[in-house]
Amino acid sequence: MFYMGSLKALPMVEDVASISYVSVPLALPVITGNPPNRTICVDGNTTFSVAATDATGYQWQVDEGRGFTDITNGAPYSGATTTTLTITGATASMNGFTYRCVVSGDGSAISNAGTLNVPNISSTISQTNVSCFGGNTGSATASATGGIAPYTYLWAPSGGTAATATGLSAGTYTVTVTDANGCTAKQSFTIMQPICIAPDVNKILYVNKHVNGGNGSGDSWANAIPELADALKWAHSNKENGLWSETDPLKIYVAKGTYKPMYTPEDGKDFSADAQYARDRTFLMVKDVELYGGFIGNEALPEQRVIPTGGLTSTILTGDFNDDDAITGSGKTLDIRNNSENAHHVVTVVNAEEDINVIIDGFEVKGGNADQSSEMFVKTDAFASVWRGNGGGIYLATYGKITLHLKNSRISRNASAEFGGGIYSASNAPFFSSPAPSSSILLDNTHVHDNYSGDNGGGVYSYSYSNTMNTNSSSSIVKLENSSIKGNYSSRFGGGVFSYANTASASGESSSKLILNNSQILENAATNNGGGMMSNAAGKTTVTDLVMNSSRIHRNSSDADGGGIYMKSDKGGSTTSIHNSALTENTAKNTGAAIYSGSVPFSSYDNTIALNNSTLAGNIGTSFISFSQGKRTLVTNNSLVLGNTKADNSSSSLAGSPTKILKYSLVQGESSTADGNINAAGITAQQIFADVTNHDYSLKLGAVAIGTGDNDLYNGADITRDKDLAGNPRLVGSKIDMGAYEFQQEVTQLITASALTKTYGDAVFEPGATVDSGRPLTYSSADDNIAAVYQDAADGNKWKITIKKVGTVTLTARQEGGHGYLPATKDFTMVISPKAVTVSIVPTAVINKDYDGNTQGSILPAQLAFAVGDIIGSDDVQIGLISSVVSYGTKDAGTGKTVALAAGNLTLNGNNAENYQISNTVELTANVGVIERVALSITAKDENKNYDAMAYTGGNGVVYAGFVNNEDESILSGTLGYEGSSQGAIDVGVYAIEPQGLTSGNYGISYKPGKLTIEKAVLPAFTFADATYTYDGTSKALVATGLPTEAKVTYVGNNQTNAGEYSVTAMIDGGNNYMDGLQTARLIIKKAKQTISFTAPETLGRDAGTVALDVRTDAGLLVSLSVDDPSVATVSDMELHVHRLGTVKITATQAGDANHEAAKAVTVTVRVVADAGAKLPIVVHQALSPNGDGINEFLMIEGIQDFPENKVTIFDKNGSVQAEIIGYNNRDRVFTGKESREGTYYYYLDLKDNGVWKREKGYFVIRR
């Protein structure tokens, strides 16, 4: 068959005529190898190949599901026009693509298609998180799809190789899934762990935003929970587990830091942290759980915290999630912005029907914004509703009683669209079975500042309601201790505080009570009643009470009534009791700038305001106090009501026509002075108060209110210990001041008095003091025995002083005070000097002493006398001596000597002596002195000397006894010399030393002898030395030399002959003038050396037998012989006994004796040789008996040791080799024959003799 195609041109030939055309068959390409199917992993590489004949071109095509299209080179393809298409980095999307190749040549052909399989392995992870912090209870299971089963799994960093990994702790893990093709997929996941919260043994949880490390259990500061929200969430989850109780509550200690609510408690949200519920996040309080903040993070008890003033504890609970709130102004100008994302309530406390008792201590609560008119339900013990428009800072609500204890805290910058910008508390009793509703807010060192409400209660809102179904009473109490309500704003009632109680039933009573102790209500504002505070009770029977102690209500404002306080009881009485407090500069556009108090119209219910030691001043409104209805009574005791004005600065008034019970008060508009009151007419606030312009309402110096109160009207605890509103003593002086502030510094009077100097005996005189007030003075003396004061009736009752005796006395001038003056006293001194007297020595006195080497003596008082007329009258005065010492003109013995007495040594004695003083200033002198000579003993000193053969002269000095005043022999005349038996003495003995030759005019000298003792001398140094000799059989001795001639010597241990070391003692007899002595030396005789001489033949024949040996020592001692090989020869009695061939070494030794050292050993070598005719220089024994008797146990070859290069070969009679021994040596290389039978055996003995190998043949017999 021919394939039709174009004709091929044949080669040109020149002979055109010969050209012919033929039809040539075409060579079409034929596919011989089709591309196979391929399976690879994602990102894997592979190839598709085609084989074809007669192909000149290739074009690969791909079908991606829409038909085949040509492939061009470019990722992931290469080789698109070659026999092999390469795919690099396949993707999962290429799975199922098919590939073929179009080959071309004279025609074309298309290969079959190969399919690309790219399994896309994926895995899903289901995991179980760790059940408790730090545990390893986590697990995870991987489910693989998309690959080729079976799958294998590898978990990292741990978890094993199964589909499920167990025993996982918290952390990030990766599982690698591999299918049957080796394709892999990795997936990472994180095992989470909860915070396993557990209080410590004291039921305390610790929270610290900045904790570093720890396990988050909350059982210590080190393991603190980072977020308060988590701690409260845990408490909510565990509140029914009996872990704490009302009597043993759970306490949460929170370190400084900013904490934000993280979860919404709304029912159904399950404490979700989802951002869509962010505004409903709140710190949900739990029953019997107490919060304490302000910790540094190392305290054990709340008492160890340092709580700063103003509640700024730095433990902040904030609802400002973005930290961008902008607050300006205060009170009426308060503006809070950028708070639309804030939490509705920072802290929430709700319960359906149970009582609420909350303790929050040490926190700043801010940033809440309750701006929504909607509610959420919170599941506590039952469902409770939370209104999103009330209580931006703290929200409390229940059907039972509410008690909020808020301590050491600050509630600020919160807002609400309706009630309670800072704090909202609502107790409601809607059902017949509901308990009596009560809302009690107790603030202790807590400060509610700059909060806003769109309705009532800018700072605090307290509400209690009992409806018609409930017969119980309702009550609302707001109590402040050392706290402040400042800068809050309400769009309706109660800018700072709003308290409201309402009882709808006929049998219940409503009570609303405000209590302030040491607290302040400052700069709050309301657009309606009660700029500072409002208390209202509604219902069938109502009562409102306000009790204020040591507190201030200042600069609050109302756009209606009651700028400072608004009290209203709709169906009952209202009582306001104010003690030691001030209401100042409050403003009301209408009436009651300071206080508005209202009761039931046309009723007899008490409507009373009582001011006790209080100040009401500077308030602005149509009236400063306004009463409305009821039995109206104003009581003032020791109080000031002054300087209150209308808006036009004219004087305002007391409104409501109350009954006035005014005592010891100054009340604006009142002129009566009955009951101790002061007429207010003409008295201005500037006259009474220190600095009205700068809001200082303490009393001014000279104010009529100072000291004009009545102590008996004071109703405090103890007037002598209590403090005024400024914290100063409540009582200064004898009478209390009016108003809240006690004047601490009354007007003083200045008394001027000069110190007086008088002399004993001066006449009476006037004291002369004056006082700047001009008021009369009185005088007193501290000691009437020195000077007495009295009024001289004969001289117009003038005060005078009479001198009684010498001394210094304090005189006091006194002005009793009064009329604005403080009592004044002035102490001044009067010094009364003594009268002068003169003393002299009696001329007839004799003043004598023994010579004592100095010029001092002594005098008796009787030898002295006063000048005539010095002593007044019969005064008892005698001359005394401080010191009786007098001075003589010279120290030497003699009579008629001048004596002088220092004037300073004189004194006076007697009952009246203190009134006199000695006037002598120079010494007293008289020639009445006598000095007698004293005895002096001179004793020669003893002297001891050792004999020195020298004659003794002179002495050893003397001892003087009797010198006075540190005198010594230098004051003596003459020359000290010696005589007696000691002079010229030489030999040992005792001799007299007699002193002589000295004289003195002041001493009577006597001499006493001493003695000279000459003692034996110590032997002089002599020689007695060690000596060493060598033993030679003669006697050796030591000799002492260098001794005095009179000394004699004897020896012990001397004269020794034998070797050894000897101790020799020389015994010395010193004679008359030397001491005996002894000395020891060593005598050493060393052992003598000795030498062995030894002569023996070098060789002997085997048959030599016994040979005498010539061996001896030069010491003549017996020599010992030994051999090294007794098998060759032995020795005895200086003879050598030859046994067999071989070489033997003979050693001669001599061990020495007591006088000789051991001799050096001498060794000679003797060789036992074979006969001269022997073929070899050895002898092989012919018999062997290996039977264990120790005889012939091996084949003995004599002399073989001398030829170590040898070989012995043993044959039996059949020529079989029994042994071949190289280096035969008769010791360890021998033939024993133990394994051979008895019989005859043959041997070859080859040895090297002088470098030549020689052989001997022979036989031997084995017998046992």
C-alpha to C-alpha distance for 491 and 455, rounded to whole angstroms: 5
Query: In the prediction, which pLDDT does 821 show?
Result: 67
Which pLDDT band holds residue 817 (cuts at 50, 70, 90)? Answer: low
How far is it, in rounded angstroms, from Cα 311 to Cα 317? 13
934: exposed, middle or buried (Cβ count in 10 Å: 0-12, 13-18, 19+): middle
pLDDT-derived band of residue 56, with 50, 70 and 90 as boundaries?
very high
CB 139 within 8 Å of CB 106:
no
Q: Tokens 């009695």 appear where?
A: 1133
Q: Is residue 726 a part of any domain in this protein?
A: no
**pLDDT in the model for residue 433:** 54
The whole-chain average pLDDT of the chain stands at: 90
Q: Does one domain contain both 229 and 298?
A: yes
User: How far is the C-alpha of 1191 from the C-alpha of 1031, rounded, in Å?
Assistant: 52
**pLDDT value at 430 more than 70:** no
pLDDT at 25: 47
649 burial level (CB within 10 Å; 0-12, 13-18, 19+): exposed
Whether residue 65 is predicted with pLDDT greater than 50 in this model: the reply is yes
Q: How far is CA 147 from CA 41, 181, 390, 983, in A?
A: 9, 8, 60, 140
975-988 pLDDT per residue, tens: 999 999 999 998 88
Report whether pLDDT(1124) > 60.
yes
- Across the strands, what pairs with 1079? 1066
Written as one string, the DSSP assignment of 513-555 is EEEEES-EEES-EESSS-SSEEEEEEESEEEEEEEEES-EEES
Domain match, 213 and 295 both = yes
Tens-place pLDDT, residues 707-757:
899 999 999 999 999 999 999 999 988 899 999 999 987 678 899 999 999
| Contacts of 634 by beta carbon, 8 Å cutoff, 6+ apart | 608, 609, 610, 611, 625, 627, 654, 658, 659, 660, 661, 662
Rounded CA gap, 908 and 864, in Å? 12
Burial of 678 (0-12, 13-18, 19+ CB in 10 A): buried
Cα dihedral sign, 220-222-223-228: positive
User: What confidence score (pLDDT) does residue 1201 get?
Assistant: 87
pLDDT digits (tens, 9 = 90+) for 216-262: 999 999 999 999 999 999 999 999 899 999 999 999 999 999 999 99
- For the stretch 281-326, pLDDT in tens is 999 999 999 999 999 999 999 999 998 888 898 999 999 999 999 9
Joined together, the tokens standing for residue 1080 give 């020891």
8 Å CB contact between 1029 and 1038: no
Partner residues linked to 943 by β-bridges: 1012
- Is residue 233 a contact partner of residue 271, using CB atoms and an 8 Å limit? yes
- Based on the domain organization, do 370 and 479 belong to the same domain? yes
Over range 1120-1139, report the average pLDDT.
Answer: 90
Nearest-angstrom CA–CA distance, 456 and 478: 15
pLDDT at 13 over 50: no
Q: Tell me which residue of 339, 362, 360 sits closest to 348, measured CA to CA.
A: 360
pTM of the model: 0.55
> What is the average pLDDT across 77-104?
93
In a domain, 172, yes or no: yes
What confidence category does residue 469 fall into, taking pLDDT thresholds of 50, 70 and 90? low
Please tell me whether the peptide bond between 150 and the residue prior to it is cis, using omega within 30 degrees of 0: yes
User: Is 613 a domain residue?
Assistant: no
Task: Note whether 976 and 1000 are same-domain residues.
Answer: yes
pLDDT at res. 195: 66
Q: What is the three-class DSSP state of 331?
A: helix
Cα–Cα distance for residue pair 1129/1116, rounded to 1 Å: 26
Residue 432 pLDDT? 52
Cβ-contact 779, 736 below 8 angstroms: no
Percent of the chain with pLDDT over 70: 96
Q: Which helix (H) or strand (E) holds 687?
A: helix 685-688
Last residue of a domain, one of 139, 158, 191: 191
Q: How many Cβ atoms sit within 10 Å of the Cβ of residue 1038?
A: 21
Looking at the fold, whether 1058 and 1142 belong to one and the same domain comes out as no
pLDDT value at residue 275: 85
Q: For residue 435, is the peptide bond before it cis, meaning its omega torsion is within 30 degrees of 0?
A: no
Distances, alpha carbon 679 to alpha carbons 582, 667, 683, 736, in Å: 21, 8, 8, 18
One domain for residues 459 and 485: yes
- The region of weakest confidence among 811-820, 856-865, 948-957 is 811-820
Residue 694 carries which side chain, given as an amino acid letter? N
Distance CA 438, CA 401 (A): 5
Task: Say how far apart CA 331 and CA 435 lie, in whole Å.
Answer: 37
Are 1165 and 1183 part of one and the same domain? no
d(CA 475, CA 957): 117
Q: Specify if 580 maps to a domain.
A: no
Residue 1085 pLDDT > 50: yes
Go through the chain and tell me how many residues it has. 1264
Point out the least confidently predicted range of 115-129, 1079-1093, 1161-1175. Answer: 1161-1175
Q: Do 404 and 513 fall into the same domain?
A: yes
| Out of 376-390, 638-652, 901-915, 1241-1255, least confident range | 376-390
Distance CA 1052, CA 1068 (A): 11
* pLDDT on residue 470: 59
In the three-class reduction of DSSP (H, G, I as helix; E, B as strand; rest coil), residue 141 is classed as strand
Domain harbouring 172, CATH code? 2.60.40
Where is 1099: in which H helix or E strand? strand 1099-1101
CATH number at residue 59: 2.60.40.10
Q: What is the pLDDT of residue 822?
A: 81
Of 354, 377, 346, 386, residue with least CA distance to 288? 354
Rounded to whole angstroms, how far apart are CA atoms 86 and 79? 6
Residue 21 pLDDT level (bands cut at 50, 70, 90): very low
Give the 3-state secondary structure of residue 904: helix
Alpha helices in 1098-1185 (DSSP H): none
CA angle 1065, 1067, 1071 (to 5 degrees): 165
Average pLDDT over residues 352-356: 79
**Would residue 793 count as lying in a domain?**
yes
- CA separation (Å) from 1153 to 1034, 1059, 1090? 17, 10, 11
Q: Which amino acid is at 1024?
A: F
Q: How many angstroms from the chain centroid is the CA of residue 300?
A: 15
* Percent residues over pLDDT 90 in the chain: 67
| Residue 22 pLDDT greater than 50, yes or no | no
Q: Which residues touch 692 (CB under 8 Å, ≥6 apart)?
A: 617, 618, 643, 685, 686
Distances (CA, A) of 986 to 221, 952, 981, 1116: 101, 6, 11, 65
Name the residue range of residue 218's domain: 204-306
> Which residues are within 8 A (CB) of 638 and not within 5 positions of it... i.e. 6 or more apart?
612, 613, 663, 664, 665, 709, 710, 713, 714, 736, 737, 738, 739
pLDDT, position 4: 28
* The total number of structural domains that make up the chain: 10
Each residue of 489-526: pLDDT tens digit? 999 999 999 999 998 776 778 899 999 999 999 999 99
Query: Is 263's pLDDT higher than 80?
Result: yes
The answer to whether residue 568 is domain-embedded is: no
- Residue 609 located in a structural domain: no
Please indicate, yes or no, whether residues 885 and 977 belong to a single structural domain of this protein.
no
Domain end marker among 505, 529, 553:
529
Distance of CA 360 to the CA centre of its chain: 30
Q: Give the pair of three-digit tokens for residue 901.
A: 């007495």
What's the pLDDT tens digit per position in 271-285? 888 888 899 999 999
Which of 864, 867, 822 is closest to 845 using CA atoms? 864
Q: Are residues 446 and 417 in the same domain?
A: yes
Same-domain status, 240 and 229:
yes
- Range with the poorest average pLDDT among 193-197, 371-375, 404-408, 1120-1124: 193-197
How many angstroms separate the Cα of 653 from the Cα of each of 156, 620, 666, 858?
A: 87, 10, 14, 97
With a cut of 80, say whether residue 961 has pLDDT above it.
yes
What CATH number did the domain enclosing 1150 receive?
A: 2.60.40.1080
Same domain, 280 and 167: no
Q: Which of 145, 160, 191 is the last residue of a domain?
A: 191
In a domain, 408, yes or no: yes
pLDDT of residue 20: 35
Question: Does the pLDDT value for residue 7 go beyond 70?
Answer: no
CB 443 within 8 A of CB 425: no
- Exposed e or buried b for every residue in 336-345, given b needs 16+ CB within 10 A? beebeebbbb
3-class SS letters over 1179-1214:
EECCEECCCCCCCCCCCCEECHHHCCCEEEEEECCC
Q: Which residues of 1051-1082 are buried (b: 16+ CB within 10 A; e: fewer)?
A: beebebeebeebebebebebeebbeeeebebe
> Phi and psi of 854, rounded to 5°?
-135, 180
- Statement: residue 332 has pLDDT above 70: yes
Taking the alpha carbons of 561, 372, 463, 616 in that order, is the dihedral positive or negative? negative
The C-alpha atoms of residue 672 and residue 649 are separated, in whole angstroms, by: 24
Residue-wise over 118-145: b if at least 16 C-beta within 10 A, else e? bbbbebeeebebbeebebbebbbbbebe
Q: What is the pLDDT of residue 818?
A: 53
Q: What is the pLDDT of residue 421?
A: 97
Condensed to tens digits (0 to 9), the pLDDT of residues 453-463 reads: 999 999 999 99
How far apart (Å, rounded) are the C-alpha atoms in residues 282 and 424? 14
